[in-house]
Amino acid sequence: MSRRSIALAVLVSVAAVLVAGIVFAAVRDRNYESVATVVLSPSTEEPDRISSLLESFERSGTLGTYVELIASDDTTREAREREVDITVRAVPDTRAIRIIAVGEEEDVEPALRSVIASTEDRETALSSLFVLEVLENPSSPILAGPSTALLLLATVLLAILAGTAAAVILRRLAPLPVQDQRPSGRSTQAKPALRDR
């Protein structure tokens, strides 16, 4: 395989990756997200009880119970009607819970507020010694997932990698050029024997 053929194959590989990446970045669906954080606080103001409640918090299962309450179908009904996805995550080693709404730009923030309001209405059924408080209000909608600039940068890097890989593979598969084989070292021609006269 000639150098020209290898160069052409490399260019085709690079162009294919670039075109695929640019098309994907242009036509992909862009969702928005809004994020809020709530925290569980002791419902009592008595210092002695607060201390004992905080000590037993991890063993009580309260955090997991609230996560299930927030993520339940009844609590997220209005959000689902808006076709907004709700993700609920307990923040490790804290009493905080993060709630993420993903969907259309105009729907995510109202949907998230409805989830928090519904949780506050329903938490009395838990008879919990903790109350839900909003630590961080729902944020303004922001684009979810990687930005277009980041995707284009990744596309360029993948294109370079594809071109390099194609060049290396084709050079290894290409037959080595035939070289003139010239004898090296001493001549093997037989010298005429000297005859004694």
Reference 62, options 143, 127, 159, 156; nearest CA is: 127
Q: What residues contact residue 17 under an 8 Å CB cut-off, 6+ apart? A: 155, 158, 159, 162
Mean pLDDT of 53-60: 76
Q: Are 75 and 118 in contact (CB under 8 A)?
A: yes
pLDDT confidence of residue 197: 47
pLDDT confidence of residue 152: 85
**pLDDT greater at residue 123 or residue 178:** 123
pLDDT confidence of residue 101: 95
Is residue 79 predicted with pLDDT exceeding 60? yes
Cα separation, 91 vs 75, in Å, equals 20
Q: Which of 32-36, 118-122, 124-128 has the lowest mean pLDDT?
A: 124-128
User: Mean pLDDT score of the chain, rounded to an integer?
Assistant: 82
Q: What angle do CA 141, 144, 149 make, to 5 degrees?
A: 115
Q: For domain 32-143, is the CATH number 3.30.70.1130?
A: yes
**pLDDT greater at residue 35 or residue 188:** 35
Cα separation, 21 vs 153, in Å, equals 10
Q: Dihedral sign for Cα 21, 24, 26, 30, please.
A: negative
For the chain, what are the domain ranges? 3-27+146-173, 32-143
**pLDDT greater at residue 176 or residue 177:** 177
Q: How much of the chain exceeds pLDDT 90, in percent?
A: 37
Is residue 150 predicted with pLDDT exceeding 80? yes
